[in-house]
Structure 1
Amino acid sequence: MPAAHLSVDGISHTYKRGQVRALDNLNFQVEPGEALALVGRSGCGKSTLLHIMAGLMTPTSGKTLIDGRTVSGPSPNWVMMFQKPSLYPWMTVAQNVALGLKFTGRTAEIAKRVPEMLELVELADYADRNVQDLSGGQQQRVALARSLAPKPEVLFLDEPFSALDAFTRNNLQRDVRRIAKELDITLVLVTHDLSEAIIMAERAVVLSANPGQISDIIEIDLDNRDDLRTPEYVAARTRLTKAYEKAAGLDFEARHVNASMPSSHADKNMKPAAADRAAVL
Structure 2
Amino acid sequence: MSHAEILIAAQPAPPQTARKLSKARIAGYFFLCLWAVLGISLLAMIVFGWDVDKLETFGPRLLNGLWITVKLVTISFVLGAILSLPLAFARMSSNKILSTLTYCYVYLFRGTPLLAQIFMVYYGFPSFRWFFEDINMWWFFKDPFYCGVFAMTLNTAAYQTEIVRAAIQSVPKGQSEAANALGFHTWIAFRKIIIPQALIVALRPYGNEIILLIKSSATVSIITVYDLMGETRYAFSRTYDYQIYLWAAIFYLVIVELMRNGWARMEGRLTRHLKR
Common fold by TM > 0.5: no
Give the structure with higher Rg (CA). Answer: 2
Hey, which of these two has a bigger chunk of helix by percent? 2
- TM-score if structure 2 supplies the norm length? 0.25
